Amino acid sequence: MRRRVLLFIGNGNGVIGYGKGKGDDYEAAFDHAFKSLKENLIMINLSHDWSVARTLEGRHNDYSIKIIPQAEPNFWGSHTIWHMLVYTGLFHQRFVIKSRKKEPYSMIYAYF
């Protein structure tokens, strides 16, 4: 039996990354995921006056996400997506997600 770990990291200023890992136990899976996470770091140029300038859309399998610019943030909906947006540094927005299943891998791929 193998264990799987999915990690997301963000510093709130536009540096984000994700990592996937598999292993015989959770410690090995976490180590592999952390190594993968360091290889997948990306930087997003952000303006702190208006962090989302246009509508952003992403889709993977059944999961779709739409991030819409808005003067006052509206963080209503999925707590996971809400935390991912805050850790990314996107504040001037609202979001809409559509999915029949709550598959975390599809959520990460659609977000990136």
84 vs 81: CA distance, rounded Å: 5
Give residue-wise pLDDT tens across range 27-71. 999 999 999 999 999 998 888 788 888 999 999 999 999 999 998
33 vs 53: CA distance, rounded Å: 32
The pLDDT value recorded for residue 28 is 95
- Residues 10, 31: contact at Cβ < 8 Å? no
The pLDDT value recorded for residue 19 is 94
Confidence of residue 75 (pLDDT cuts 50, 70, 90): confident
pTM of this prediction exceeds 0.85: no
- Contact residues for 102 (Cβ-Cβ < 8 A; gap 6+): none
**Would you say residue 105 has pLDDT above 90?**
no
Report domain extents, the chain. Answer: 3-43, 56-111
